[in-house]
Amino acid sequence: MIRPTKPDDTAALLTLAEATAVFKPHELEALDEVLADYHATNHAYGHAATTALDASGTVVGFAYLAPAAMTDRTWELWWLAVDPRHQGHGFGRALLELAEDHVRRESARLFLIETSDTPVYLPTRGFYLKAGYTQAALIADFYADGDGKVVYAKRIASVLA
């Protein structure tokens, strides 16, 4: 089941993100702040957060997306994570498809995802390519020396005539 993220989910989402072993401590702090801001105000500005639960009701994944400021209907996926014990069972794909459905309903024209180019993110990059995204940009040493930024894009709406 996938449902809107609730404030009570925050602790479980932080634990899940930490369990992936790919997020740095400052990224986990940022996630905590993003979720707090979402529940306080940003949900009213179009941001969306969803939480995936397994059959027992345990939190197993989440996604967070928002419209890109100062753009014409471009959206960004800020976070997508699945508990390592539940990866490969379709939760990530379901969360991504739900995010794409959401931005379609919002008349998005472009959906962007950014991630790291480090080896630990190789499966993540493969996941986005398999989901039909194309690599739109690579910025070497963006996050830190040796840690570049890869941007993936998918056109959601067709080009207007």
pLDDT exceeds 50 at position 159:
yes
Question: Measured between alpha carbons, how far is residue 74 from residues 66, 132, 153 in Å?
Answer: 9, 17, 10
Residue 130's domain spans which residues? 2-155
The CATH number assigned to the domain holding 6 equals: 3.40.630.30
Instruction: In whole angstroms, give the CA distance from residue 5 to residue 37.
Output: 13
Cβ(35)–Cβ(46) below 8 Å: no
**pLDDT for the residue 161:** 39
What pLDDT was estimated at residue 62? 98
* 161 domain-assigned: no
Distance from CA of residue 79 to its chain's centroid?
3
Nearest partner of 51 among 84, 110, 8, judged by Cα: 8
The pLDDT assigned to 33 comes to 97
Per-residue pLDDT tens over the stretch 3-33: 999 999 999 999 999 999 999 999 999 999 9
* pLDDT at position 129 over 70: yes
51 exposure class (CB count in 10 Å sphere: 0-12, 13-18, 19+): buried
Dihedral sign (CA 20, 79, 117, 153): positive
The answer as to whether 66 is a domain residue is yes
- What is the rounded CA–CA span in Å between residue 83 and residue 76? 21
Percent above pLDDT 90 for the chain: 97
Among 78, 70, 142, 144, CA closest to 112: 78
Mean pLDDT of all residues in 90-103: 96
pLDDT at 157 > cutoff 90: no
* Domain count within the chain: 1
* pLDDT greater than 90 at residue 37: yes
Is the pLDDT reported for residue 87 higher than 60?
Answer: yes
